[in-house]
Chain A
Amino acid sequence: MEYTVRHLLKEGDRVTGCVAYTRVDGDFHAFSAKSVILATGGITRCWSVCSGSWEYTGDGHALALWAGAELRDMEFVQFHPTGMVWPPSVRGILVTEGVRGEGGRLTNSEGDRFMFNYVPEMFAGDHAETIEESDQWVEEVVSGKLATVRRPPELLTRDVVAKAINSEVKAGRGSPHGGAFLDISHRGEEAILKKLPSMHHQFKELAGVDISKEPMEVGPTAHYVMGGVRVNAETQESNVPGLFACGEVASGLHGANRLGGNSLSDLITFGKRAGEHAAKRAEDLAQPGIEDTQVQSAIEIMLAPLNREGGENPGLIYDEMRDMMQAKVGIIRTKEEMTEAMADLLAFNKRQEACFPGSSRKYNSGWHQALDLKNMVDVSTAATLAALTREESRGGHTRDDFPGEIEAWGKILNIIYMEDGEIKIRQEDVEPMREDLSEAITEVKTMIAERAAEQAGGGN
């Protein structure tokens, strides 16, 4: 239990196992493996307001990068619009989209349903234009009927809602603790306890707010990284033979902006594929040997922080780095701030190389943090470099200095890779969609259009 992998073993090009430590004892373990599957989740701990737990430090992304695998789409980080904002102990913890799905209303300090003012051009006409229409949609949907009117603008994509809340707060119309109000109380206590029991419990216990009687305060929180290890869509194998990735650590499926619920279907589908193909590869291979020099050098790197004479507390570096990423590579990005962030990350890298968590290996939280700092610096650098390079705004990536999508960028991928210990970037063309898939999408789109036309025509 409680193993943390810090190094992937290699033989030539291929991956042959890994080296890990146990959190409780600080013992080292080397594993020989014919296939390795990364299933380590995301990187959102690199931002100070995030919905992830302590594990989301991008260790899988970094392990892949260090082992020679390519990352793509690292500039696309999704900020979920509704995280808790108060009290500070829970800042960032997720408030489920279900609250808005059940009819939750977003308002600013002046009581305005501000989302009506933030419908982007590409979604114009798709959403309700009046409060009455919104309410009717909610009423129909929650009673299990097919909606005959358009959905509330609160249900726009996550990036749109997150940016809208951000703008309202910046314009001085935020809630007392710097968010927006999300109100579901009109649905009544019985419905809320039945449909949103864990949200009711979460706010009551953590914030002392009864959501069946009063509004919640919510604001954007770093939630998901669309980018990750570049994998073959069929097999989930990276460009390093034997190294597979699935779930949030893999990339490609969600493009620039994941839709709510799609991560779960991603895990189920591509987790299965990764397992099957990793197993299939293993069938034909002999058990690889473990090369001692690689293991020893991995152990040496892990022990380095403990062997220093003294130095900064890694916890402080951890906090400051997350605050920096929040301020300079957050929801709205500029060239100026990100250039600063790149320089800051170099400085953080120097600091983490000299930090001192004490000398004990036994359940030493500071040592675990010291090791995580290295992957956090590297994945933060990857995300910042990709974001700095993409001079347009698209999905989860918004540039204040380059508003709007640029068609040419829509066909270009940013690929991050490591060469001689340095993180580098290059561009590649987006692979055209397979014919059978694009046909299937056209088919579905036609079907939806037909159904909409039918409903608009009276619905008999």
Chain B
Amino acid sequence: MGLKGKTQDFNIMRGEGEDAKLESFSIELDEGMVVLDCVHRIQHEQQPDLAVRWNCKAGKCGSCSAEINGRPRLMCMTRMSDVVEETPEGQAIEIRPMKAFPHVKDLVTDVSWNYDVAQRIKPINGPETMDWEFNQMEADRVQQFRECIECFLCVNTCHVLRDHALFDDFAGPRNLVRLAQYEMHPLDTEDRIPEIKKEFGVEYCNITRCCTEVCPAGIQITDDAIIQLKERVVDRYYDPLQRIWRTITRQNVRY
């Protein structure tokens, strides 16, 4: 089914704060459009001051996160052919800003909380000498975490934040990925386990895998990052045998 010439209705969030509400727009589609193209067409032809944050149009910069028909996605990577197909005939396509973050205007939200949390994470502390080596497998293990484009769709989806607003007690999936990336780095010597348990609240996550499901970079956030961190916390705090062993061998670790 071709898109060209089809008239499509949209309901897009407009306005700021309490006054924000869905407004209806209608445009003619072209072949091969993505959702962001439609938003731009509305902005260029009808609503010059429509606010939308975007940059690369190739799923690399993570700027154009939104909720399309209720599903958190990147607008630049969501093809209209798919959205038209999933939307019941005669119904408008709904585009809302990410719900979990403070609303700025229209489709733009303030995601700076994520950067503040990132600032509190201890950076990698590596060896000073250059004579190290590590196995390729160890490099491969953290490689996927570097694919993160910081679109924060995972944070927006996580019910600990979206529904329970525990922004003060929980670091959110994106920053747990960052913590995993540092903790699993083969040369890192820093210890972040007490913070991961307390300040960053890894135990709030109950592994519903919603974050993994919405990740446009395909990172196995839950299985490969969060569960790994949870296991490290369990080893440190809840495994009596390990605790005894550490006492016998006089390993000095923080709790």
Interface residues, chain A, CB within 8 Å of chain B?
1, 24, 53-55, 86-90, 93, 202, 205-206, 313-316, 318-319, 356-358, 360, 362-367, 369
Interface residues, chain B, CB within 8 Å of chain A?
16, 30-34, 36-37, 40, 43-52, 54-59, 61, 76-77, 79, 104-106, 108, 110, 112
Cβ A87 vs Cβ B31 within 8 A: yes
Cβ B77 vs Cβ A358 within 8 A: no
Cβ A206 vs Cβ B77 within 8 A: yes
Cβ A90 vs Cβ B58 within 8 A: yes
Interchain Cβ contacts under 8 Å between A and B, 8 examples: A87-B32, A88-B31, A88-B37, A90-B58, A316-B45, A365-B48, A365-B50, A366-B49
B14 CB to nearest chain A CB (Å): 11
With a cutoff of 8 Å between Cβ atoms, the chain B residues found around residue A365 in the complex are 43, 48-52
With a cutoff of 8 Å between Cβ atoms, the chain A residues found around residue B108 in the complex are 24, 363
Cβ A89 vs Cβ B112 within 8 A: no
Closest residue to A356 on the B side, CB-wise?
A: B48
A388 CB to nearest chain B CB (Å): 29
Closest residue to B38 on the A side, CB-wise?
A: A89
CA gap between A314 and B110 in the complex, in Å = 25
With a cutoff of 8 Å between Cβ atoms, the chain A residues found around residue B79 in the complex are 87
Cβ A55 vs Cβ B50 within 8 A: no
With a cutoff of 8 Å between Cβ atoms, the chain B residues found around residue A369 in the complex are 48
Cβ A316 vs Cβ B37 within 8 A: no
With a cutoff of 8 Å between Cβ atoms, the chain A residues found around residue B40 in the complex are 315
A87 CB to nearest chain B CB (Å): 3
Cβ A89 vs Cβ B57 within 8 A: yes
Taking A206-B59, A313-B45 as contacts, is the C-beta distance between A86 and B32 under 8 angstroms? yes
B112 CB to nearest chain A CB (Å): 7
Cβ A88 vs Cβ B30 within 8 A: yes
With a cutoff of 8 Å between Cβ atoms, the chain B residues found around residue A86 in the complex are 32
B78 CB to nearest chain A CB (Å): 10
With a cutoff of 8 Å between Cβ atoms, the chain A residues found around residue B46 in the complex are 313
CA gap between A315 and B48 in the complex, in Å = 7
Cβ A315 vs Cβ B32 within 8 A: no
With a cutoff of 8 Å between Cβ atoms, the chain B residues found around residue A316 in the complex are 44-45
CA gap between A365 and B76 in the complex, in Å = 17
CA gap between A89 and B31 in the complex, in Å = 9
Closest 7 CB pairs of A and B: A87-B32, A366-B48, A315-B44, A358-B49, A363-B51, A357-B48, A364-B49
Cβ A53 vs Cβ B31 within 8 A: no
Closest residue to A93 on the B side, CB-wise?
A: B58
Cβ A53 vs Cβ B77 within 8 A: no
Given pairs A315-B40, A360-B49, A365-B51, 8 additional interface contacts (CB within 8 A)? A53-B56, A88-B30, A89-B36, A313-B48, A315-B45, A316-B44, A357-B48, A369-B48
Taking A362-B16, A365-B49 as contacts, is the C-beta distance between A319 and B58 under 8 angstroms? no
CA gap between A319 and B40 in the complex, in Å = 11
Cβ A357 vs Cβ B57 within 8 A: no
With a cutoff of 8 Å between Cβ atoms, the chain A residues found around residue B57 in the complex are 53, 89-90, 93
Contact of B44 among A1, A90, A319 (CB under 8 A): A319
CA gap between A360 and B46 in the complex, in Å = 16
Cβ A314 vs Cβ B104 within 8 A: no
With a cutoff of 8 Å between Cβ atoms, the chain A residues found around residue B59 in the complex are 202, 205-206
With a cutoff of 8 Å between Cβ atoms, the chain B residues found around residue A363 in the complex are 51, 104-106, 108
Cβ B44 vs Cβ A87 within 8 A: no
Closest residue to B46 on the A side, CB-wise?
A: A313
B54 CB to nearest chain A CB (Å): 7
With a cutoff of 8 Å between Cβ atoms, the chain B residues found around residue A93 in the complex are 57-58
A66 CB to nearest chain B CB (Å): 25
CA gap between A127 and B105 in the complex, in Å = 56
CA gap between A363 and B47 in the complex, in Å = 13
With a cutoff of 8 Å between Cβ atoms, the chain A residues found around residue B37 in the complex are 88-89
With a cutoff of 8 Å between Cβ atoms, the chain B residues found around residue A362 in the complex are 16, 51, 104-105
Closest residue to A366 on the B side, CB-wise?
A: B48
B155 CB to nearest chain A CB (Å): 17
Cβ B55 vs Cβ A54 within 8 A: yes
Contact of B32 among A55, A89, A202, A313 (CB under 8 A): A89
With a cutoff of 8 Å between Cβ atoms, the chain A residues found around residue B45 in the complex are 313, 315-316
A129 CB to nearest chain B CB (Å): 37
